[in-house]
């Protein structure tokens, strides 16, 4: 490690400890040349994913774009900011688990829709309407049909019924 003060490559580590909730290691170093101390951080290097758009253009993955899209879908819904950030982290984690360098934008949308369907049905349909480019009411009806069928398949909860 080069000393930031004298540029010498002659140092030793005085102390190492985890920081950033275990996502990084902080090292206090001592330069044997100029006898000054400095701090370095070691973090896992994440591969930068490239998103392949519908028109086959490529651009670097942007977590902020996913976050904005999900926030818009969840607008005025009873979903906390923390839960939205958790969902964005889940989407990103799923992407990183299955793709190393390039990922189609359609896959990102499907992953986000999957997580939204489990979180809030209204947010799911809002997101789907943009992602799938709905053009009319029939597109909404077609998207709602599987959700409605899923609800119809659930057993009824009779615990609140009054027994006579």
Give the tens place of pLDDT for each residue, 55-114.
999 999 998 999 999 999 999 999 998 899 889 988 988 998 889 889 999 999 999 999
Whether residue 134 contacts residue 140, with contact meaning beta carbons closer than 8 Å, is answered with yes
Residues 56, 101: one domain?
A: yes
132 within some domain: yes
Average confidence score pLDDT of the chain: 85
Co-location of 99 and 134 in the same domain: yes
H-state helical runs in the chain: 63-73, 81-98, 105-119, 121-131, 137-153
130 and 63 in a single domain? The answer is yes
39 and 56 share a domain? no
Q: Is the predicted pLDDT of residue 34 greater than 60, yes or no?
A: yes
Asked whether residue 96 falls in the same domain as residue 17, the answer is no
Q: Where in the sequence is the domain holding 61, given as residue range(s)?
A: 50-153
How many domains does the structure of the chain reveal? 2
Query: Is residue 29 pLDDT above 70, yes or no?
Result: yes
119 against 128, higher pLDDT: 119
Q: pTM for the full model?
A: 0.60
Query: Distance between CA atoms of 104 and 108, rounded to whole angstroms?
Result: 7
Residues 16 and 54 in one domain: no
Residues 27 and 65 in one domain: no
Would you state the pLDDT for residue 151? 55
The answer to whether position 162 is within a domain reads: no
Residue 161 inside a domain? The answer is no
Could you tell me the pLDDT band of residue 155, with boundaries at 50, 70 and 90?
Answer: low
pLDDT band (50, 70, 90) for residue 27: very high
């Amino acid at each position: 490690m080069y000393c930031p003060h004298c540029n010498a490559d002659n140092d030793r580590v005085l102390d190492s400890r985890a920081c950033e909730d275990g996502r990084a290691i902080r090292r206090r170093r001592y330069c044997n040349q100029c006898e000054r101390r400095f701090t370095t951080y070691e973090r896992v290097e994440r591969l930068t994913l490239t998103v392949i758009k519908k028109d086959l253009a490529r651009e670097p993955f942007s977590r902020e774009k996913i976050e904005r899209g999900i926030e818009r879908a969840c607008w005025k819904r009873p979903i906390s900011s923390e839960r939205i950030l958790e969902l964005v982290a889940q989407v990103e984690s799923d992407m990183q688990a299955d793709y190393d360098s390039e990922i189609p934008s359609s896959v990102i949308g499907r992953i986000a829709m999957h997580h939204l369907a489990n979180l809030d049905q209204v947010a799911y349909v809002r997101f789907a309407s943009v992602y799938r480019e709905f053009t009319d009411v029939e597109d909404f009806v077609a998207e709602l049909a599987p959700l409605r069928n899923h609800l119809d398949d659930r057993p009824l909860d009779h615990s609140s019924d009054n027994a006579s």
